[in-house]
Structures are given as C-alpha cells and as structure tokens.
Amino acid sequence: KQEVTQIPAALSVPEGENLVLNCSFTDSAIYNLQWFRQDPGKGLTSLLLIQSSQREQTSGRLNASLDKSSGRSTLYIAASQPGDSATYLCAVSPSGGGTYKYIFGTGTRLKVLA
C-alpha cells in the first residue's frame, strides 16, 4: 500500500531564506507527482506536476525534483517571502491502468517571518 510522508511537518523561517520541503513515498511505481499549496480554510492550488519520466519541473521561484527509484521528491523555494506561508502538500498517482486516485502526504506547514 502506497504511503506518502512529508518532512518536516512544520517549518518556520525568516524571510529571504532558500528552503527545501521533502516528500517520500513507499512504492516507486507512480505515474506522476503533484505539489499543492493550501492557505488556511481554502482549496488546494496546484504548483507543479512532475510526470514519472521527468526529473524536475520549475515555475518561478519553485523547483520540484523527482527521484522515483529512491521514492523521493523535493520542493525547493528560493528567496522565501511571507506570502509563501501556507501548507504544502504532495500527492502521488499510483501507476497501472488508468487510476484516478491521488494519495496525499501529510503536509508541511510553512511560516515565513517578515
């Protein structure tokens, strides 16, 4: 059974720091992995989608990498800002035959201090 873990569970950093959020999954047979951001009480905003054949994706100050063989993905945030404060969730889509299920990690709550 696929399990997705995110470390750390919470993180507080001063503005301007570069930081790394981690996502681990137990079964390397995935179709893709998606990173989301969630503000308190709000829906999820898609940040980056990495297909299993890709190693990384970039969008602005965000860079996500994927190492399927080791069951890990990292989300790198450059020059963090207070507006980056949110919960970050990763989700994996298990491979094999048209699955619609995403399995979510437990999330990392990020606070960027001004």
Partner 1 sequence: DTEVTQTPKHLVMGMTNKKSLKCEQHMGHRAMYWYKQKAKKPPELMFVYSYEKLSINESVPSRFSPECPNSSLLNLHLHALQPEDSALYLCASSPDANYGYTFGSGTRLTVV
Q: Hey, which residues between 75 and 94 contact partner 1 (CB under 8 A)?
A: 89, 91, 93
Torsion 89-11-81-61 (CA) sign = negative
CB of 68 to partner 1, least distance (A): 15
With binding defined as CB under 8 A, does residue 98 bind partner 1?
Answer: yes
| Residue 36 identity | F
* Closer Cβ to partner 1, 28 or 95, answer by number: 95
Phi, psi values for residue 48, rounded to 5°: -150, 145
Question: How many Å apart are CA 70 and CA 114, to the nearest integer?
Answer: 35
* Strand 4-7 to 103-104 pairing: unpaired
| Per CB under 8 A, 49 contacts partner 1 | yes
Interaction site with partner 1 (CB under 8 A)? 31-32, 34, 36, 41-46, 49, 89, 91, 93, 95, 98-102, 104-107
